[in-house]
Amino acid sequence: MLYITSPHTSRQYDRELEDIRARVLLMGQFVAQQVSESVESLVKGDAEQARKIINNEYQVDAMDISIDEECTQILACRQPAASDLRLVVAVIKIITDLERIGDGAERISRAAIRSSKWDTPSNIYESIKSLASYTLAMLYDSLEAFEKMDMEIALEVATKDPQVDAQYEGILRQLITYMIEDPRNISWAVELLWVGRTVERIGDHVRNICEYVIYLVKGKDVRHVGLKDIEQIVRDK
């Protein structure tokens, strides 16, 4: 289902609402790139690339603050109601999750710097890379759902979150096995355990974004609702 806002008598107001939407998408694209490159630096053992990602983290924080300030300005000056108010509220919540995803990219990059000094089995990196690729695809789809205000896309992405959990549990089992086999593996295994957990948490933030899209379109808060109930809410005409 697509959601289309109605035009207002003030074209400037329309431009302000469209601007915050566009800026959320730009922030989302940038954050996704940060995550992708942080995982790449981890897999390749590229400490220099990881440092560049860490140095770019300030841009995520700047986007978060700037969009939040614009939303506050709209709330104060325009006093939006109904769907416009939901849009502004959803944007404020979405950028919070995007900022936390950006924090995740920074944590992965710092782990990449530390793990670049260790001799780590390549198969565990492949497992983390696979989980990250799956989660990033979800993130891009959630941004599409927001761009199109499409609940169906948002629902489809939200239903993929259990698969993220399952992949993370597989990584956890791999790492525990390595630690049991040789205590000398504990240092790098614990480091990568936290990387896996960070990627899994990114999946949780993506689901949050999808829930905000459903709230925006449907006007119902589904944050603490099971997937079956969310599906019923989306399908309910």
* Residue range 149-198, pLDDT digits in tens: 999 999 999 999 999 999 999 999 999 999 999 999 999 999 999 999 99
Confidence (pLDDT) at 53: 97
Q: Is residue 6 part of a domain?
A: no
Distances (CA, A) of 31 to 52, 57, 59, 115: 14, 9, 9, 22
Domains: count for the chain = 1
Q: Is residue 18 part of a domain?
A: yes
| Residue bearing tokens 């759902």 | 145
Q: Is residue 26 part of a domain?
A: yes
Amino acid at 37: E
What does the block give as tokens for 168? 């993370």
Owning domain of residue 212: 11-235
pLDDT in tens, 70-107: 999 999 998 998 889 999 999 999 999 999 999 999 99
Q: What is the rounded distance in angstroms from the CA atom of residue 28 to the CA atom of residue 44?
A: 24
Confidence (pLDDT) at 170: 96
Q: What is the mean pLDDT of the segment spanning 25-29?
A: 98
Is it the case that residue 9 has pLDDT exceeding 70?
A: no
Q: Is residue 1 part of a domain?
A: no
Q: Is residue 17 part of a domain?
A: yes
What does the block give as tokens for 33? 């790139």
Q: What is the rounded distance in angstroms from the CA atom of residue 33 to the CA atom of residue 135?
A: 12
Q: What is the rounded distance in angstroms from the CA atom of residue 149 to the CA atom of residue 143?
A: 9
Q: Coil, strand, or helix at residue 2?
A: coil
Q: For residue 222, name the pLDDT band (cuts at 50, 70, 90).
A: confident
The percentage of residues in the chain with a pLDDT greater than 90, rounded to a whole number, is 80
> 32 or 234: whose pLDDT is higher?
32
Q: What is the CATH number of the domain that holds 159?
A: 1.20.58.220
Q: For residue 17, name the pLDDT band (cuts at 50, 70, 90).
A: very high
Q: What is the rounded distance in angstroms from the CA atom of residue 233 to the CA atom of residue 166?
A: 26
Q: What is the rounded distance in angstroms from the CA atom of residue 109 to the CA atom of residue 181?
A: 27
Confidence (pLDDT) at 149: 93
Q: What is the rounded distance in angstroms from the CA atom of residue 197 to the CA atom of residue 210?
A: 20
Q: Is residue 3 part of a domain?
A: no
Q: Is residue 221 part of a domain?
A: yes
What does the block give as tokens for 39? 């995982």
Q: For residue 237, name the pLDDT band (cuts at 50, 70, 90).
A: low
Q: Is residue 119 part of a domain?
A: yes
